[in-house]
Structure 1
Amino acid sequence: MRQALIVWGGWEGHEPEAGARAVKSMLEEEGFAVRVENTTAAFADPAIAELSLIVPIYTMSKLAKAEEANLTKAVENGVGLGGYHGGMGDAFRESTEYQFMCGGQWVAHPGNIIDYRVNIMRRDDPIMNGIDDFAYRSEQYYMHVDPSNEVLATTTFSGEHAPWIDGVVMPVVWKRRHGKGRVFYSSLGHVAKEFEVPQMRTILRRGLVWAAR
C-alpha cells in the first residue's frame, strides 16, 4: 500500500485543517495509507524518504534548515510532492530550495476573490482528461514560475485590478520533475468549500496520484 503524509498548518485563512481532511479522504479513496501531521517537524523525519507522496498544506510560516534539507532530499530521491493554492505555492517564503522544488511561488492575487476562467492547455494529459475550460471564483494567483514546468492549465488576467498585467497568461496547474521525484501543483483552492467544485477536486486528485511513486 502506498504511504502518504499530509502536513498542515500556517495561516488559518486557507482553512488548512479542513483542506487536510479533504485531501486525506481523496487519497484514502485511491488506496493510500495516509498520515496527517500539523507541525513542520514532520519534514525532518528521515522516514519520509520511504513515502510515496508528501502533501504540504502550510501557507507562509517558516521551514527550519534541517526540515528543508530532509524534505528536498526526499523528493530528489523519488518521493512525490503535490499540493494546491497557498498551502504549497505560498509556503515557507524564505526557503528558496523549497520554491525551486515546487516550481513557483505566489506573489499576488489582484482583486482578491474574483470571477475568472481556467483554460485547459493539455487536454491529452490524463490529469486533464475530459475537463474543458471552466469558470472559477476564487483568488486568481499571480505567481513567479519556473519555465521548465509542464503547464496543464492557465488563466489570463483582465487588467481590471492591475492594468499593467492586462493579458498576462499565468499557469494555474503544472507538473514537473525534481530529481527523481514528481511534483504537481494547482493554484485552485483558497478555502475548503472549493473542493465542491468538480474540476478543482478532480484535477487535484489526479495530480496527487500522478505525483505519487
Structure 2
Amino acid sequence: MTGSAGAGPKSGGHSVRHALIVRGGWEGHAPVTTTELFRADLSARGFDVTVAEDLDVYCDEALLSRTDLVVQCWSQGTLTERQCAGLLAAVHAGTGFAGWHGGVIATFEHSREYLRMVGGLFLFHPEQFVEYDVRIEPAYADHPIVAGIGDFTVHTEQYWMLTDSLSHTLASTVISASDGGHGTLPVTMPVVWTRKWGAGKIFVSAIGHRLDDLRQPAVRALTGRGLVWASR
C-alpha cells in the first residue's frame, strides 16, 4: 500500500479528502495505468491518495472509515465474505464508491451484495470493438457529472449488462439487434449511472477497456467528475 490516508493536514481551512484506489485483477484492463491517470487528477484536486493492490484493504475498518472515496479497478476477481462486508459497510456509512468498465461491473460475480450495491453485472459484448453513440439523458443534462458534455461517439467495447431501476442513468447507448443477438429489436443500455448505498454515493461508467478510451476528452471529463461527485 502506498500513500497516506491518515487524519491529514488542512488546506485553506478545509479538511483534506482521502481517496483509496484499489487496483488489480485481470491485467487486460490495465489497472495500473488507468488508475494512475485519475490518481493524478485526484491529487490535483487536493485529495490525499492511497493505493492498495490487495483486496484485504476492504477489511481495514479504520482506514475505510476515514476514506471519502474508493476508486476500484479490479476485474475478474473474487471477494471473500469479510472483504465484501467491509466494503459495503464503509459505503453504507458514507464512503463514496466509483469506477469504470470491468473494474467494477465485470468482477466479483459471486458477491451478490456487491453487485446489488453497484447496480450492474456485465454479461456480453460483441467480439470486436464497435463504434457507438453515447447519449446524455435529457433529464440529467444539468447533472454535474455530464453538464456541458453533449452526445459523443466511442470506438470500444459496448457492454450489455444486467441492471435495475434504482440507478439514475446519466448516459445510455443503443445496442443493435445484430450486435446484441437477442431478438430483432435494438436494446437501450445504460453507460453512465449513479445510485446510493445507504449514505454512500456510487458512480459507474461502462467505458474504459483501454487507456485510450479514458483519455477521450468527453470520457475523461465525465469519469473525473464522477469520481469527485461520489466522494463523501
Matched to 2:66, the amino acid is E
1:26 equivalenced with 2:65 (yes/no):
no
* Consecutive unaligned residues in structure 2, runs of 5 or more: 1-15
Give the TM-score normalised by the residue count of structure 2.
0.89
**1:89-123: CA deviations, max 9, x gaps?**
11211111111110111111123311111000021
1:2 equivalenced with 2:13 (yes/no):
no
Give the TM-score normalised by the residue count of structure 1.
0.97
- For 2:128 and 2:198, the matched residues in 1 are separated by 35
- For 2:42 and 2:101, the matched residues in 1 are separated by 18
Shift, 1:124, TM fit: 1.5
Give the aligned partner of residue 66 of structure 1.
82
Matched to 1:49, the amino acid is S
What secondary structure, in the 3-state scheme, does the structure 1 residue paired with 2:207 have? coil
Shift, 1:201, TM fit: 0.5
Shift, 1:167, TM fit: 1.4
What secondary structure, in the 3-state scheme, does the structure 2 residue paired with 1:160 have? helix
Once the two structures are superposed, the pairs formed by residues 1-213 of structure 1 within 5 Å of their partners are: 1-46=16-61, 47-121=63-137, 122-164=140-182, 166-213=185-232
Query: Residues 67 and 33 from structure 1, CA distance in 2 versus in 1: closer, same or farther, beyond 3 angstroms?
Result: same
Shift, 1:148, TM fit: 0.8
Shift, 1:193, TM fit: 1.8
Aligned length: 213
Aligned 8 A contact 2:207 2:214 in 1: no
Q: Indicate the larger mover: 155-164 or 91-100.
A: 155-164
What secondary structure, in the 3-state scheme, does the structure 2 residue paired with 1:194 have? helix
- For 1:145 and 1:95, the matched residues in 2 are separated by 15
Between the aligned residues of both structures, percent identity stands at: 38
Kindly report the root-mean-square deviation, in angstroms, between the aligned alpha carbons of the 2 structures.
1.1
Matched to 1:190, the amino acid is H
* Consecutive unaligned residues in structure 1, runs of 5 or more: none
Larger Cα-atom Rg: 2
